[in-house]
Amino acid sequence: MAAGDAIEVEVAYALPAQQRVASVRIASGTRVADAIHQSGILEEFPEIDLATARLGIFGRRVDARDLVSDGDRMEIYRPLRVDPKAVRRLRAQARKSRNLR
């Protein structure tokens, strides 16, 4: 890889009690999935399945085949454990029942 062909990106993954951000120097024209592989995060967190994981760059959803740009921060999102709509509905019901007393 020639000096002009290299770009620097970050790959981030977070668990409830731990966060890992890996900086990696890759070739220009690298795809998201390849950058994640090169970061070493998949070896550190074997539970990540890139075939099903949701991915983003700076909070915007991307596909594993998308190209990365210099300075991008790729994020690997964990699956939601609870549907956010269901949680809001339960909170609203609890509030309503408290107000009726």
Q: CA-to-CA distance for 47 and 50, rounded, in angstroms?
A: 10
**Of the candidates 1, 4, 11, 6, the residue with the CA atom closest to the CA atom of residue 56:** 11
Share of the chain above pLDDT 90, in %: 70
Q: Are 70 and 7 within 8 A, CB to CB?
A: yes
Q: Tell me the average pLDDT of the chain.
A: 90
pLDDT-based confidence at residue 84 (cuts at 50, 70, 90): confident
DSSP secondary structure, 51-90, as one string: TT-EEEETTEEE-TTSBP-TT-EEEEEPPPSS-HHHHHHH
Is residue 2 scored above 70 in pLDDT?
no
Identify the band that residue 4 occupies on the pLDDT scale cut at 50, 70 and 90: low
| Higher-confidence position of 44 and 2 | 44
Give 101's pLDDT tier (boundaries 50, 70, 90): low
d(CA 101, CA 21): 48
What CATH code would you report for 3-100? Answer: 3.10.20.280
Residues 52 and 62: their CA atoms lie apart, in Å, by 13
pTM for the full predicted model: 0.75
Per-residue pLDDT averaged across 23-34, rounded? 96
